[in-house]
Amino acid sequence: MNIKLFSRAAASISALFAVSACATTGVPQLTGPSFSGFGKTVSISAIVVKDATQVQGWCFTPPDRRDFTGITAEVVYLAEMRNYNNNLQNYDVCRLKTPAKQLVAAAELSKFSLIEIANALTEIAQAEQLKSESINQLAERLKVTPAVDLDYKEESDKLSAEIAKLQAEKATRGESVALTPEAYTQIAVAQGKLESAASYLGQMLGTTIKVYRTISQMSDNQKQMVYNDAAGIYGGTVQQDAFAGFVGNLSQIAEGTISGAGGLAQAAYKLGEVEKPENVEDVEVAVDSAVEVTNTEAKQIVQNIDNGSLI
């Protein structure tokens, strides 16, 4: 095959099938999670949408060859295979190959993402001297509630209501409160952690959609086997019956939820848009350190699930 022709064809096919928020076929952009530094324009929603779409489509199983033949089909397949291999390196959840592990990941990363959004809101509200008592209480409740007992949609609605209250208070107040360097750094750290957590929010949504589709096609006996295996990952601290109710909650998370979740995280991030005080020194070190902690925590969750132990 002519190499130049192949390269042009590959570029054309890749451009033709650029990923959309609800894409389930085609060749997506071949990129993994990427983050910007504080002070730059960041699209949290784009991170969530991209990573959720990648995970649900090209993560847990390699792509199949098409039933039709020809150079176009081969180029599409090769591009999808390359993307699948890239995702194995870029997304932690792609290592989870069983429905039980994917189900537990959907639960634990859901809780992780909700807590990160709530924590970011608390930190931003405190730094901007907004009322933060109710959002702080919400965050503390999320921390002590078992992941399988959380209803993602219901908790997201509560977070959205908290954001609306904070936005209204900020708008009513008018001029921004003069921030101290410490307060500005606090906001920068909160936004950095939220940006980092956005990828895991996307990974959670992609995993949720994939595992729900898988489980919904199983017989009752097969489902019970998955629930039993999932309970085993918790070392007996969670009963397998809890997963039946949790899967019912998963049915509310479909492709349309992805853009909504991205919008929720973006609204939390936007709440922290403030003017930089003149006497603020570089905040990158503090942000980078906080981001590393967030990434390590999320990676450890997935690693523990893969090892079969969340005790």
Measured CA distances, 293 to 90, 94, 119, 193, 259 (Å) = 18, 21, 14, 9, 26
Q: Give the pLDDT score at 5.
A: 32
User: What pTM did the predictor assign?
Assistant: 0.83
Q: Give the pLDDT score at 68.
A: 61
Q: Where are the domains of the chain?
A: 3-307
Q: Give the pLDDT score at 10.
A: 31
Q: Of 142, 139, 129, 172, which is closest to residue 272 (Cα–Cα)? A: 129
Q: Give the pLDDT score at 256.
A: 59
Q: Give the pLDDT score at 53.
A: 92
pLDDT digits (tens, 9 = 90+) for 59-69: 998 888 766 66
The 3-state secondary structure of the chain reads CCHHHHHHHHHHHHHHCCCCCCCCCCCCCCCCCCCCCCCCCCCHHHHHHHHHHHHHHCCCCCCCCCCCCCHHHHHHHHHHHHHHHHHHHHCHHHHCCCHHHHHHHHHHHHHHHHHHHHHHHHHHHHHCCCCCHHHHHHHHHHHHCCHHHCCHHHHHHHHHHHHHHHHHHHHHHCCCCCCCHHHHHHHHHHHHHHHHHHHHHHHHHHHHHHHHHHHHCCCHHHHHHHHHHHHHHCCCCCCCHHHHHHHHHHCCCCHHHHHHHHHHHHHHHHCCCCCCCCCCCCCHHHHHHHHHHHHHHHHHHHHHHHHCCCC
Q: Give the pLDDT score at 184.
A: 92
pLDDT digits (tens, 9 = 90+) for 162-213: 999 999 999 888 766 778 899 999 999 999 999 999 999 999 999 999 999 9
- How far apart are the C-alpha atoms of 88 and 17, rounded to whole Å? 20
pLDDT (tens digit, 0 to 9) for every residue of the chain, 311 residues total? 333 332 333 333 233 223 333 333 333 333 333 334 444 557 899 999 999 999 998 999 888 876 666 777 788 888 889 999 999 999 999 999 999 999 999 999 999 999 999 999 999 999 999 998 999 999 999 999 999 999 888 999 999 999 999 999 998 887 667 788 999 999 999 999 999 999 999 999 999 999 999 999 999 999 999 999 999 999 888 888 899 888 887 877 765 577 788 889 999 999 998 888 878 778 889 999 999 999 999 999 999 999 988 86
Q: Give the pLDDT score at 102.
A: 96
